[in-house]
Chain A
Amino acid sequence: MGDLIQLIVSGIATGAIYALAALGFTLLWQAAGVINFSQGEFVMLPAFAILLFIALGAPLWLAFLLACVAAMLVLGIGFKWVIVDPLIRHGVIPLVIATLGLSIGLKSTLKAGYSAEAHPFPSPFPGGQFSIADVNISYADIGTLVVAGFVVISLQLFLNRTVTGRAMQAVAQNTDAAKVLGIDVKRMVLYTFLINAVLAAVAALLVTPTYLAKFDMGDAIGQKAFFAAIIGGFNQTRGALLGGVLIGVLENLVGFYVSPAYKEGVALILFLVVIVFRPEGLLGRAEERKV
Chain B
Amino acid sequence: MKRNAFLLTTMFAAAFAAPAYAQPKPIPIIGLMELSGTGATAGTNFDNGVKLAVKEINAGGGILGRKIEYTSMDTQSNPGVAKALAQKAVDLGAYVVMGPVFSGSFIVSMAETKRAEIPNFTGGEAANITQQGNPFVFRTSFTQSTAMPKLAKYIDDTVKAKSVAMIWVNNDFGKGGRDTMAKALEERGIKVAADISTDPGQVDFSGAVLKAKQSGADALFVYTNEEESARALRELKKQGYDRPIIGETTLTGQKVIELAGDAANGAVAHVGLTADAPQPAIKAFDQKFQSEYKYRSDHNGMKGYSGMYVVKAITEKIGKVDSKAFATAMHGARISAKDAPGVLLDVSFDQNGDLDRESFLVKVENGKQVVTAILPPVSAK
State if A and B touch, Cβ cutoff 8 Å: yes
Residues of chain A whose beta carbon lies under 8 Å from any beta carbon of chain B: 3, 6-7, 10, 14, 111, 116-120, 127-129, 136, 138, 140, 209-212, 214, 216-217, 220, 251-252, 255-256, 260-261, 263-264
Q: How many angstroms from the CA of A140 to the CA of B238 in the assembled complex? A: 7
Are A7 and B210 closer than 8 Å at their CB atoms? yes
Proximity bits, B116-154, A CB within 8 Å = 1, else 0? 000000000000000000000000000000000000000
Q: Are B240 and A252 in contact (CB under 8 A)?
A: no
Given contacts A14-B206, A111-B36, contact A3 B214 (CB under 8 A): yes
Pick the contact of B207: A7, A118, A127 (CB < 8 A): A7
Which B207-246 residues sit within 8 Å CB-CB of chain A?
207-208, 210-211, 214, 227, 230-231, 234-235, 237-240
In the complex, are the beta carbons of B259 and A260 less than 8 A apart?
no
Report Cα–Cα, A72/B249, bound state, in Å.
43
Neighbouring B residues of A7 by C-beta, 8 Å: 207, 210
Known contacts A117-B41, A256-B211, A260-B208, A136 near B239 by CB under 8 Å: yes
CB <8 Å contact, B234 and A255? no
Q: How far is the CB of B239 from chain A (nearest CB, A)?
A: 6
Interface residue? B255 (CB, 8 A): yes
Q: Which residue of B lies closest to A220 (CB)?
A: B203
A210-B204 in contact (CB<8A): yes
Given contacts A256-B211, A260-B208, A264-B199, contact A129 B227 (CB under 8 A): no
A261 to B237, CA, bound (A): 23
Give, as a whole number of angstroms, the nearest-CB distance from B364 to chain A.
15
Interface residues on B, range: 20 to 34
The answer for the CA separation of A260 and B263 in the assembled complex, in Å, is: 23
Contact of B227 among A127, A214, A255, A256 (CB under 8 A): A214
Q: Which residues of A contact B263 (CB under 8 A)?
A: 127
> 17 extra interchain contacts, Cβ-Cβ under 8 A, other than A118-B227, A136-B239, A217-B203?
A3-B214, A10-B206, A111-B36, A118-B230, A118-B259, A120-B230, A120-B260, A127-B263, A138-B238, A209-B234, A210-B203, A210-B235, A251-B204, A255-B207, A255-B208, A255-B211, A260-B208
Given A118-B227, A120-B261, decide whether A136 and B240 contact each other with a Cβ distance below 8 A: yes
Q: Flag if A117 contacts B239 (CB, 8 Å).
A: no
Q: Are B204 and A14 in contact (CB under 8 A)?
A: yes
Q: List 5 A-B contacts (CB under 8 A).
A: A6-B210, A120-B258, A120-B260, A211-B231, A263-B207
B interface SS class: helix
Residue of B nearest to A140 (CB): B238
Contact B197 A261 (CB under 8 A): yes
Most chain A Cβ neighbours within 10 Å, of B205, B214, B260: B214
Q: Is the CB of A3 within 8 A of B210?
A: yes
Chain B residues in 8 Å Cβ range of A210: 203-206, 231, 234-235, 238
Asked if B311 CB lies within 8 Å of chain A CBs, one says no
Tell me which residues across on chain B come within 8 A of A129, comparing CB atoms.
238-240
Closest to B211 in A: A256
Contacts of A140 in B (CB 8 A): 238
Contact assessment for A260 and B238 in the assembled complex, using a CB-CB cutoff below 8 Å: no
A256 with B210, Cβ < 8 A, contacts A118-B227, A118-B230 known: yes
B196 located at the interface, meaning its Cβ lies under 8 Å from any Cβ of chain A in the complex: yes
Rounded to whole Å, the gap between the CB of B85 and the closest CB of chain A is 18
Q: How far is the CA of A3 from the CA of B206 in the complex (A)?
A: 12
Nearest CB to that of B227 among chain A residues? A118
In the complex, A120→B235 CA distance in Å? 13
A256 in contact with B203 (CB, 8 Å): no
> Is B90 in the interface zone, CB < 8 Å from A?
no
Contact A252/B206 with A127-B238, A129-B240, A140-B238 known, Cβ cut-off 8 Å: yes
Q: Which residues of A contact B40 (CB under 8 A)?
A: 116-117
- Lowest 7 CB-CB distances: which A-B pairs, in order? A255-B207, A211-B203, A118-B227, A10-B206, A116-B40, A138-B238, A120-B259
Chain B: CB-nearest residue to A130:
B240
Instruction: State the Cβ distance, B42 to closest chain A Cβ, in Å.
Output: 11
Residue A127 contacts which of B41, B205, B237 (CB distance < 8 angstroms)? Answer: B237
Looking across the interface, which residue of chain A has its beta carbon closest to that of B208?
A260
Give chain B residues whose Cβ lies under 8 Å from the Cβ of A252. 206-207
- A212 and B230 contact, CB distance less than 8 A: yes
B197 & A119 in contact (Cβ 8 Å cutoff)? no
Distance (whole angstroms) from the CB of A60 to the closest CB of chain B: 14
- Chain A residue nearest in CB terms to B35: A116
A114 to chain B, nearest CB (A): 13
When distances are taken between beta carbons in the complex, the residues of chain A under 8 Å from B207 are 7, 10, 251-252, 255-256, 260, 263
